[in-house]
Structure formats: C-alpha cells, structure tokens
Amino acid sequence: MAIARSKARREAIFSLVALICIIADQATKALAREYLSPGEAVPFIPGVLNLQFTVNTGAAFSVGEGLSWLFAAIAVVVVAALAITLWRTSDVPIYLCVFAGIIAGGAVGNLIDRVASGGVVDFFATAFMDFPIFNVADVCIDVGVVLGFIGYVIWDRKRAEGANAPHEGEA
C-alpha cells in the first residue's frame, strides 16, 4: 500500500512538473508570436540576452532542418521512456522525478510546436556570442538533463553504498 502511494506520488510530481514546464513554454511562445517580428532583435537583458522571433524546423544549430517529424518521434520516445521508467522503478527519489518532469515538459513543449506548425518557435538570442536561438522548452531539456545526470550519479552512489553496507548481524 505504501509503495503504491509512493509510486502515485512520484508519478503525480513528474506529471505536474511536466505540465508546468509545458504551460510556461507555450505561454512564452504565444507571447513571442504576438509581440516579436521575425529577425528583429529586442534587448531583454542588455548585452546578454535579446528576444528574436524565429521558427526552427531542425534541432540545435538548425541541424536536421526539415526533419521535424524525426524530432517529434524522438520526443515521444523520450517522454514515454521517462514515464515507463518511473512507473516501473519503485525506488526513484523525488528529485529525479522532478528532473524527469522538466525534461518531459520541455520535450512535449517543442513537440506541440512541431505537430501544430512543423517547426519550433525560438526567441531567446544571446547578445554576447553567436549561439543558436532557443526557447523555454530547450532550457527545460538542457537543465533537466544536467540535473538529472548529477542526481542519478548521486542516487546510484547511495544505492551502491547501501548494497555494500554490512547487514544486521554481519561483522
């Protein structure tokens, strides 16, 4: 009973975090579509970050331009893999559910764009260096992957230490 409750809690946290990321991503993209003109750079944080509307049919650095269907399929696979892993694994810590939710939310945010219009709305442009224009979903994916990797390493180390700890009655 406690395991089922804990599992339901982890799944709810994963879903809620993903939903928050999707809403934030889609809301900011709607604002970008409404208020930004293609190609025009509007200072957001002067010297650091501009707002600049573009639609990307590829991935980062416009790799795979025109292969939106492939990136949509990859997003579906990634989100499904995260959800299935959380559903099947009973001892995943809450923080990994949060990080997985961030990744899933970012993936679904960009998936919505790809399915709805064949390309992803991007609008954050670095002002201090030449870097691909990106969006909230991209930030979610990148941050989620980095934090998820660090969190997984910590969790795996704790599990390994627990497995190697002497059990009661052992010397």
Which residues are 134's β-sheet partners? 124
Token digits of residue 3: 């395991």
Please identify which of the residues 25, 91, 113, 122 carries the catalytic annotation: 122
Catalytic status, residue 91: no
Whether 4 contacts 87, CB under 8 Å? no
Catalytic status, residue 138: yes
Count Cβ atoms below 10 Å from residue 170 Cβ, excluding itself.
6
Measured CA to CA, the distance from residue 104 to residue 79 in angstroms comes to 5
Q: CA 96, 103, 21: angle at the middle one, nearest 5?
A: 105
Please identify which of the residues 25, 91, 113, 138 carries the catalytic annotation: 138
Beta strands in 12-143 (DSSP E): 42-45, 49-56, 120-126
Q: Which residues are catalytic?
A: 122, 138
